[in-house]
């Protein structure tokens, strides 16, 4: 058992691990240092929104914080509104309230049980992992722990190539949409807004800005110009566990045969959604079967298609976005943004190309980058991640998908896993692929809690 553990990160993944560790009620003394980095501990970026327009894209019944208590979130929601059903898509701010309530309950339980938990609203400056422990450096303080877990969530967003510094400095180009949305206020002024990206982040931005700015018009640009697919109004249960499809995919580990198998399976099904959902418990194992060149092929050619059918919109959100298009306030365009610069009049000038054609000019009052999660630790400005990479304590994933790790979350160093330095969540995308949604996070939290509180660290 590791008796002193540092949890680094203030979002849902860190909160889930903290709560799982305290739920275990360890018999031996346990000391937890939780470095939240400031802000509202437990909510992070994903659940920090206060907007009622931002909904979970997973049904309430599947959003418990604990693997051992599958009704946790649903019970919490029904305490406030008994009419809530497990199939509902609820506001993300309500889920943030649930996370905060569970953290408060766990901390109260820790105090009653005599477990030492230090919640520190600071970011960690550096880590020095060794074979017998990890040194945590924060400000002038140095603290030795038996194990440390990186649960950092989203890394800071970086501007896309081709965006000139003047466009950012003038405030017309927004790199971090969430920090921007937190400051938006109602404004009837007409304006032209361009979004780069058409995934779930873009949808959240569109919903909020279209309501706050009723006279704004939006152009959303992405490689294929397609929105995420929508959930059905009613939940559909897979006809089987996907076992035969998974077995066929394991026998032919490559993107082309997998795409053929998926097309055949969905064509034979009344609805393609249960087919895709049946793969969810097997995704990490399937990803592990893929050679690196096939993973790279997936990221280049199939990632966009997978993510739009895997991470779907609630039906009511899909209808709201369709209404924006029907009203002429939203236009979707296929293409790649080659450059963004600030023009003489202060408006932004974009060059957009498609299918190898000549770039087409486009003007906007505001451009918002909504390309989703950044996981490339090789180029991040995050101070702690940069320190770990620069000092060679961790190995970046070669495809820019976080850090190299073993399947159980131990980070690699010189090709071998540290026994006392772990990660969870988005930093494990290169190892597990699906590693950012709560159903996966809670399984990681439970597995890590078992490892950290076991009699001996596994070899």
Tens digit of each residue's pLDDT (9 = 90 or more) over 114-124: 889 999 999 99
Instruction: Tell me the Ramachandran region of residue 162: left when phi exceeds 0, alpha when psi lies from -120 to 50, beta otherwise.
Output: left
Averaged pLDDT, 210-228:
97
Which of 186-190, 252-256, 338-342, 353-357 has the lowest average pLDDT?
353-357
* Helix locations, 160-199, DSSP H: 165-169, 177-181
* pLDDT tens digits, 126-140: 999 999 999 999 999
Sheet hosting strand 348-353, strand order edge to edge: 336-342, 348-353, 360-364
What is the β-pairing status of strands 410-413 and 191-196?
Answer: unpaired
CA 221/CA 370 separation, integer angstroms: 10
Alpha carbon of 273 to those of 54, 237, 239, 244, 254: distances in Å?
Answer: 22, 9, 11, 17, 22
Q: State the pLDDT at residue 67.
A: 83
Q: Is the pLDDT of residue 7 over 70?
A: yes
Q: How many CB atoms lie within 10 A of CB 292?
A: 11
Tell me the per-residue pLDDT of 402-416, one tens digit each, with 9 for 90 and over. Answer: 999 999 999 999 999
CB 55 within 8 A of CB 91: yes
Mean pLDDT, residues 44-53: 90
User: Of 27-36, 38-47, 428-437, which has the strongest mean pLDDT?
Assistant: 428-437
Give me the pLDDT at residue 459, please.
38
pLDDT at 114: 85
Query: In what helix (H) or strand (E) does residue 304 lie, and over which residues does it extend?
Result: helix 303-310
Strands 366-369 and 191-196: parallel
**Does the pLDDT value for residue 89 go beyond 50?**
yes
Alpha carbon of residue 394 to chain centroid? 21
What Cα–Cα distance (Å) separates residue 196 from each residue in 234, 326, 332, 349? Answer: 31, 20, 10, 14
- 10 Å CB burial of residue 434 (0-12, 13-18, 19+) is buried
CA distance 152 to 428: 11
* Residue 258 scores a pLDDT above 90: yes
Phi–psi pair at 430, nearest 5 degrees: -65, -25
Residue 254 scores a pLDDT above 80: yes
pLDDT confidence band for 237 (50 / 70 / 90): low
For the four alpha carbons of 262, 267, 268 and 270, in that order, the dihedral sign comes to positive
Rounded to whole angstroms, how far apart are CA atoms 99 and 107? 12
| Cα angle 100, 106, 108; round to 5 | 105
pLDDT band for position 196 (cuts 50, 70, 90): very high
pLDDT the model gives residue 456: 44
pLDDT tens, 361-412?
Answer: 999 999 999 998 899 999 999 999 999 999 999 999 999 999 999 999 999 9
> Do the beta carbons of residue 147 and residue 2 sit within 8 Å?
yes
When pLDDT is averaged across residues 228-251 and rounded to a whole number, the result is: 84
Mean pLDDT of the chain: 93
For 24-33, 151-160, 294-303, which range has the lowest pLDDT when averaged over its residues?
24-33
Q: pTM (2 decimals)?
A: 0.93
| Gap between the Cα atoms of 3 and 5, Å rounded | 7
Is the pLDDT at 84 greater than 90, yes or no?
yes
Please say whether the beta carbons of 158 and 380 come within 8 A: yes
- pLDDT band of residue 458 (cuts 50, 70, 90) is very low
Q: Which candidate, 155, 160, 146, places its Cα nearest to that of 454?
A: 146
Domains and CATH numbers, the chain: 4-156+374-453 (3.50.50.60), 165-230+312-369 (3.50.50.60), 243-307 (no CATH)
């Amino acid at each position: 058992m590791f008796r002193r553990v540092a949890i680094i990160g203030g979002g849902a993944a860190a909160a889930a691990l903290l709560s799982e560790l305290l739920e275990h009620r360890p018999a031996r003394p346990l000391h937890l240092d939780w470095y939240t980095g400031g802000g509202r501990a437990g909510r992070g970026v994903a659940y920090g929104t206060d907007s009622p327009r931002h909904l979970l894209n997973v049904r309430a019944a599947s959003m418990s914080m604990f693997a051992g208590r599958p009704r946790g979130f649903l019970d919490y929601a029904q305490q406030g509104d008994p009419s809530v059903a497990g199939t509902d898509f609820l506001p993300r701010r309500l889920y943030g309230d649930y996370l905060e309530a569970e953290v408060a309950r766990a901390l109260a339980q820790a105090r009653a049980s005599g477990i030492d938990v230090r919640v520190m609203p600071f970011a960690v400056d550096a880590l020095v992992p060794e074979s017998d422990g990890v040194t945590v450096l924060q400000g002038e303080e140095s603290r030795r722990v038996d194990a440390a877990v990186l649960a950092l969530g989203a890394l800071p967003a970086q501007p896309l190539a081709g965006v000139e510094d003047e466009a950012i400095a003038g405030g017309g180009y927004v790199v971090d949409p969430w920090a921007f949305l937190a400051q938006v206020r109602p404004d009837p002024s007409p304006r032209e807004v361009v979004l780069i990206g058409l995934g779930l982040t873009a949808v959240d931005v569109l919903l909020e800005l279209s309501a706050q700015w009723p006279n704004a018009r939006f152009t959303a640009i992405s490689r294929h110009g397609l929105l995420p697919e929508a959930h059905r109004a009613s939940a559909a249960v897979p006809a089987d566990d996907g076992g035969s499809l998974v077995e066929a995919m394991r026998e032919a580990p490559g993107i082309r045969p997998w795409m053929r198998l998926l097309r055949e399976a969905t064509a034979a099904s009344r609805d393609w959604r249960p087919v895709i959902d049946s793969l969810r418990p097997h995704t990490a194992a399937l990803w592990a079967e893929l050679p690196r060149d096939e993973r790279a092929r997936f990221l280049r050619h199939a990632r966009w298609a997978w993510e739009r059918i895997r991470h779907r919109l609630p039906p009511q959100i899909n209808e709201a976005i369709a209404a924006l298009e029907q009203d002429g306030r939203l236009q979707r365009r296929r293409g790649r943004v080659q450059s963004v610069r600030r023009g003489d009049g202060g408006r932004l000038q974009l060059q957009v190309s498609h299918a190898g054609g000549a770039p087409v000019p486009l003007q906007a009052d505001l451009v918002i980058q909504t390309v989703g999660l950044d996981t490339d630790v090789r180029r991040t400005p995050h101070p702690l991640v940069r320190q770990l990479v620069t000092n060679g304590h961790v190995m970046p994933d070669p495809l820019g998908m976080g850090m190299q790790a073993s399947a159980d979350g131990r980070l690699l160093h010189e090709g071998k896993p540290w026994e006392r330095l772990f990660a969870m969540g988005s930093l494990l995308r290169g190892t597990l692929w699906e590693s950012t949604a709560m159903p996966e996070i809670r399984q990681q939290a439970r597995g890590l809690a078992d490892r950290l509180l076991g009699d001996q660290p596994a070899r």
